[in-house]
């Protein structure tokens, strides 16, 4: 079993990565401090893995709340459902919430944990590739608002992250591909060797060879853990993890949450950010071609929606959390393995690529 550490002083926590972590001898129970547990999951994941998790937690007093599946469910309505469930079932401040599912479940469960009685423990058990390599690590929790993605949330760290590679076997191909967008992101923004590794191991990744997936997930988690340890609340360095997200969040909000998967929108966003960098003579055209090629290799989109033009993008970008003083800010690659934040992008430059 691989074990990493997110080093945040007294809020540090481990990330466990292995096959079969939901079957037996799980380290999960060592991170629960009381007898009371609430599992938060959805109606797709819970029938697959809920019983396994309950068996692991046999010594605890367990209840669960099962939400509908989908990005649109990361809402204030479902946040209220979780709060009401916890209150109705008399959960105290010593309870532990366990997020069993993908990024939507992890985000809304984590935000509920941050808010319930001013903060209770929670544990991430991510079951999608996207959540395993990105959203389960680092303590970003949130719900969506009709006017913007992840606009209501908190930085709140879990007690532990438990990644069972076997859960990827039930993941639909489209969801697996969406997760690969976040994987590729790490290579573009800060690890050129990892980007090359992804190019060289494309076929093994598509074949879902377990040792390759384990190495890939570990690399991504280590990269994010290192960045979070240096900049937990996104004051500077951590903002680079938003590569592609300014464009991607605009696509999600305009098209409707769940129409484009988050990873699909981020994939297109990374291509658009790369095109912007090429136009500003910050990135070689040959690097753009490599980025487009690797993204396409995993059946991810590289073009913005045909019905979404400049004005549609900008209205959402103006609500981006990276903006300061009304100035749009973009993460752009300057080479494969290097990226930076820019606040000197003109409307004309955006129009050229949109």
Q: Which residues are catalytic?
A: 118, 140, 182, 224, 234, 238, 242, 245, 249, 262
- Enclosing H/E stretch for 270: helix 262-279
Residue 308's Cβ-count burial label (10 Å; 0-12, 13-18, 19+) is middle
Nearest alpha-carbon partner for 276 in 243, 250, 325: 243
Rounded to whole angstroms, the Cα distance separating 3 from 319 reads 37
Among the listed residues 222, 210, 212, the one whose alpha carbon sits nearest the alpha carbon of residue 20: 210
Q: In the chain, what are the helix, strand and coil shares in percent, each to the nearest 5?
A: 50, 20, 30
Judging by beta carbons within 10 Å of its beta carbon (0-12, 13-18, 19+), is residue 78 exposed, middle or buried?
buried
Instruction: In whole angstroms, give the CA distance from residue 126 to residue 191.
Output: 24
* Structural contact between residues 61 and 37, judged by C-beta atoms closer than 8 angstroms: yes
- Structure tokens of 109? 């469960």
Token couple for 215: 């190495």
Q: How many CA atoms lie within 13 A of 193 on its CB side?
A: 2
């Amino acid at each position: 079993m691989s074990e990493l550490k997110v080093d945040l002083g007294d809020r540090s926590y481990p990330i466990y990565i292995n096959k079969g972590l939901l079957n037996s001898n799980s380290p999960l129970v060592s991170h629960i401090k009381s007898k009371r547990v609430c599992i938060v999951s959805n109606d797709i994941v819970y029938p697959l893995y809920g019983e396994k998790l309950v068996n692991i937690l046999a010594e605890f007093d367990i209840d669960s709340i099962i939400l509908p599946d989908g990005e649109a469910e990361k809402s204030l309505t479902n946040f209220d459902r979780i709060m009401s469930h916890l209150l109705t079932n008399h959960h105290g401040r010593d309870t532990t919430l366990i997020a069993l599912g993908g990024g939507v479940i992890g985000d809304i469960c984590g935000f509920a944990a941050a808010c319930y009685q001013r903060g209770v423990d929670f544990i991430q058990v991510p079951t999608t590739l996207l959540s395993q390599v990105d959203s389960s690590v680092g303590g970003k929790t949130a719900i969506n608002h009709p006017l913007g993605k992840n606009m209501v949330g908190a930085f709140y760290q879990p007690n532990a992250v438990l990644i069972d590679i076997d859960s990827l076997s039930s993941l639909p191909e489209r969801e697996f591909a969406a997760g690969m967008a976040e994987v590729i992101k790490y290579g573009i923004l800060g690890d050129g060797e990892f980007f090359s590794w992804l190019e060289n191991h494309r076929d093994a990744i598509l074949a879902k060879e377990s040792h390759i997936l384990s190495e890939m997930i570990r690399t991504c988690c280590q990269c994010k853990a290192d960045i979070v340890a240096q900049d937990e609340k996104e004051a500077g360095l951590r903002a680079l993890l938003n590569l592609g997200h300014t464009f991607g969040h605009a696509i999600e909000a305009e098209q409707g949450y769940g129409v484009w998967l988050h990873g699909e929108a981020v994939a297109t966003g990374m291509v658009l950010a790369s095109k912007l960098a090429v136009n500003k003579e910050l990135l070689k055209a040959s690097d753009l071609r490599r980025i487009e090629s690797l993204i396409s290799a995993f059946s991810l989109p590289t073009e913005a929606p045909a019905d979404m033009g400049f004005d549609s993008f900008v209205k959402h970008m103006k609500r981006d959390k990276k903006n300061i003083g009304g100035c749009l800010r973009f993460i752009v690659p300057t080479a494969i393995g290097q990226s930076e934040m820019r606040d000197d992008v003109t409307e004309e430059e955006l129009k050229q690529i949109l």
